[in-house]
Amino acid sequence: MPAPSTCVERAGNVICAYNGTMAAEQMKRIQVNDERLTQITRFNNAHENFPEDLAQAWDTLKPLIAYYEGQWSRDLAETDAAYGVLSEDGVWNEMGNFYDLLKELSQVSTRIIEEYEGENAVE
């Protein structure tokens, strides 16, 4: 391979042009996609444990739902102490928030998987 004629550093990576010059359009395309790679790498690293975190959240919420649908009203009636779990809407709101999050994740995930697998290919 001949010696590069032009090299630039971008996000810790060195990009070089060989055989003469690299067109400005080509350099821009490489830089834009290099930044995309950096962004998706950060996203993947930050969310790699999300499936396990979601399962843990469900394991926490499941018995809370059972409590809310069972002993909660009795505890509310018989206790004067201020506990967040005994607030009028605290548990109900979090149950709804979790459910809404799951539905949205499902919809977005389904759309992305279909696009990724080429059923609705992005041009």
- Give the sign of the dihedral formed by CA 70, CA 74, CA 76, CA 80: negative
Q: Which residue has the tokens 């977005």?
A: 108
Q: State pTM to two decimals.
A: 0.72
49 vs 8, 53, 54, CA distance in Å? Answer: 35, 6, 9
More confident residue, 12 or 40: 40
Q: pLDDT tens digits, residue range 20-69?
A: 566 888 889 999 999 999 999 999 999 999 999 999 999 999 999 999 99
Average pLDDT, the chain: 88
Res 91: pLDDT: 94
Res 1: pLDDT: 46
Distance of CA 112 to the CA centre of its chain: 12
